[in-house]
A = this chain, B = another copy of it.
Amino acid sequence: MAHGYETGRLNLPFVGIATFAKSPYVPDWNAIDADVAILGAPFDFGTQWRPGARFGPRAIRDASTLFSFGHAGAYDHEDDVTYLDGVRMVDLGDADIIHTDTETSHANIEAGVRAILDAGALPVVLGGDHSVNIPCIRAFRDEAPIHIVQIDAHLDFVDERHGVRHGHGNPMRRASEEAHVEGLSQFGIRNVSSTAREGYEDARARGSDILSVRQIRALGTEAVLARIPEGKRYYLTIDIDGFDPSIAPGTGTPSHGGFLYYEVLELLAGLAKRGEIVGIDLVEVAPDYDRTGTTAILAAQVLLNVIGRVFHARR
């Protein structure tokens, strides 16, 4: 049979080297031949409270094995679709990180994303803290313009404080400065935050559409999707703290009152149909603060579902 239950290996989740979804490991970044390429960006020097997102890539890979036990694709009975069937996925390992050196570390991440783009694959970057989004967006400078959709508790729109411009509070401000970034949709932003009033005014002045979790619930998924420019090339950046601490406690700066699982999945499933998702990062999983594994499982489950829907939409 196609999914090979009876031949080959049973391949239970706890068996085998932990690449993302047990996809082939491709250490040679000049040899990428795939639809999707996973890149780890274990950088967390930009963190302002609890560090540990450097262990995010390994934790997400480990959790992803739960969803990879010998199936060909992932059947969803509600949609009656077997997602990921035929999607060629590879894991590139991690960008090299130099402790105390943000600039070089970010450059290495950018190089990885560029290699994926050159190979014509969808880059999916596993953070690391949200500052890793900065080199990811830079890697798209030679590509067609993109619209960024952000899932996050925090606006991350600080320009500069005490000289810091590339910490995890700055990425959306940095993105807004890029010529190839056409617009920002910032969803889930709420409550006490690291961005002061000026940051919000700045973001709105630069064209951001900012919605809180409660505002999104009041609008409904369809109305929220309608606010995103249609038919664009979307870059999706998911800060795991956009989700509620009840399902994502393993993160640096949790904020209560966040998204639940299906709220985000339905929004992203709609986005995959509304245009083309051309890049993804998922950041701020700090596994040592959540020994239940719930946060890392969430990250893996969201990513696998979104990747599946991206390629289903492309058919």
Tell me the nearest residue of chain B to A62, going by C-beta: B58
A225-B291 Cα distance, complex, nearest whole Å: 37
- Contact assessment for A256 and B246 in the assembled complex, using a CB-CB cutoff below 8 Å: no
Copies in the complex: 6
Q: Which residues of A contact B (CB under 8 A)?
A: 3, 5-6, 9-19, 25, 27, 40, 42, 44-52, 54-55, 58, 61-62, 66-67, 69-71, 74-78, 82, 91, 93-102, 104, 131, 155, 161-164, 166-168, 189-197, 200, 210, 212, 214-215, 244-247, 249-250, 253-257, 260-262, 265, 288-294, 297-298, 301-302, 304-305
Q: How far, in Å, is A39 (CB) from chain B's closest CB?
A: 11
Q: How far, in Å, is A148 (CB) from chain B's closest CB?
A: 18
Q: Assess A161 versus B10: contact at CB under 8 Å? Given A247-B244, A294-B254.
A: yes
What are 14 A-to-B residue pairs whose CB atoms are below 8 Å? A6-B162, A10-B96, A12-B97, A15-B97, A18-B58, A44-B51, A50-B55, A78-B190, A100-B166, A101-B163, A192-B305, A245-B247, A245-B297, A288-B289
- Contact assessment for A191 and B305 in the assembled complex, using a CB-CB cutoff below 8 Å: yes
Tell me the nearest residue of chain B to A81, going by C-beta: B197
- Contact assessment for B289 and A292 in the assembled complex, using a CB-CB cutoff below 8 Å: yes
A291-B293 Cα distance, complex, nearest whole Å: 12
- Contact assessment for B45 and A193 in the assembled complex, using a CB-CB cutoff below 8 Å: no
- Contact assessment for B214 and A262 in the assembled complex, using a CB-CB cutoff below 8 Å: yes
- Contact assessment for A52 and B51 in the assembled complex, using a CB-CB cutoff below 8 Å: yes
Q: Which residues of B contact A257 (CB under 8 A)?
A: 260-262, 265
Q: How far, in Å, is A3 (CB) from chain B's closest CB?
A: 6
Q: Which residues of B contact A161 (CB under 8 A)?
A: 5-6, 10, 70
- Contact assessment for B104 and A163 in the assembled complex, using a CB-CB cutoff below 8 Å: yes
Tell me the nearest residue of chain B to A292, going by C-beta: B249
- Contact assessment for B104 and A162 in the assembled complex, using a CB-CB cutoff below 8 Å: yes
A163 CB contact (under 8 Å) in B98, B212, B290, B304: B98
